[in-house]
Amino acid sequence: MVGEIWMLHRVVEHVSNVPEQQELEVTAIWLEQKILEYQRQGYTFVSIDNLPKRGRWVCLTFDDGYRDNYTIAYPLLKRLGVPFTVYVTSGFIDNRSPMWWYPDQQLGMSAEELRLLDLDPLCTIGAHTVSHPKLDTLTKAQQYKEIAESKQWLEQLLGHPIQHFSFPHGAHNDDTLAICRKLGFHTVVQSWGGPLRRGENPYPLPRINMTIK
């Protein structure tokens, strides 16, 4: 048995020519081919809400809350019937705080787009802090604020509990894990670690960074 949790960010029509941005981008065509290739090999695509204990499966996740997750990835995944999770940095919604790695661009999803995604059972919304800091550089109180406020903001907008969390930059320490457990997150994911083997249910869960290269 092998389970793979894929980490993605942006889904675009054409990749950028800025190398640091390319690492965050896949094309819709590439993603569709990758999904079909795995389905041909017998993998099932599953939701983070229901990770299987056996079999071969893939769980698709997107970090940050880019608008293209709604405009480009969602129609593709809807057509293929593939479940997915979007981990939202609450400050990026409606572009209230900048994504500093994309200067002068407004790439965040709107609150309305987020609400529409959340209404589809194929999509699970998770939290990803308020401002996308490296959590292991913050005090425990600062970490608590970043994590709890993003969860509460999303719960207020969407009207239901938020049960999954992703560490920005994968960065975390023992305080982060204690806070996430205390806030009741069912799963937390990091940004590396490869596939899951039979019977494993770690906290945090490993992911595989999916890039075109």
For Zn ion (CB under 5 A), the number of binding residues is 3
Position closest to Zn ion via CB: 63
Query: Binder to Zn ion among 3, 65, 168, 204 (CB under 5 A)?
Result: 168
CB of 148 to Zn ion, least distance (A): 18
CB of 132 to Zn ion, least distance (A): 6
CB of 9 to Zn ion, least distance (A): 7
CB of 64 to Zn ion, least distance (A): 4
Residue 195, token pair as written in the block: 């596939």
Of 78-86, 99-107, 145-153, 162-170, the window that binds Zn ion (rule: CB under 5 A) is 162-170
Looking at residue 76, its amino acid is L
Cα–Cα distance list, 5 to 2, 9, 91, 166, 173 (Å) = 10, 13, 25, 12, 21
Asked if 118 interacts with Zn ion (CB under 5 A), we say no
Distance CA 13, CA 30 (A): 10
Asked if 25 interacts with Zn ion (CB under 5 A), we say no
Q: Are 165 and 129 in contact (CB under 8 A)?
A: no
Residues 178-207 that bind Zn ion (CB under 5 A): none
Asked if 63 interacts with Zn ion (CB under 5 A), we say yes
Asked if 64 interacts with Zn ion (CB under 5 A), we say yes
Of 36-44, 49-57, 161-169, 183-191, the window that binds Zn ion (rule: CB under 5 A) is 161-169
Which lies closer to Zn ion via its Cβ, residue 1 or residue 193? 193
Q: Which residues bind Zn ion (CB under 5 A)?
A: 63-64, 168
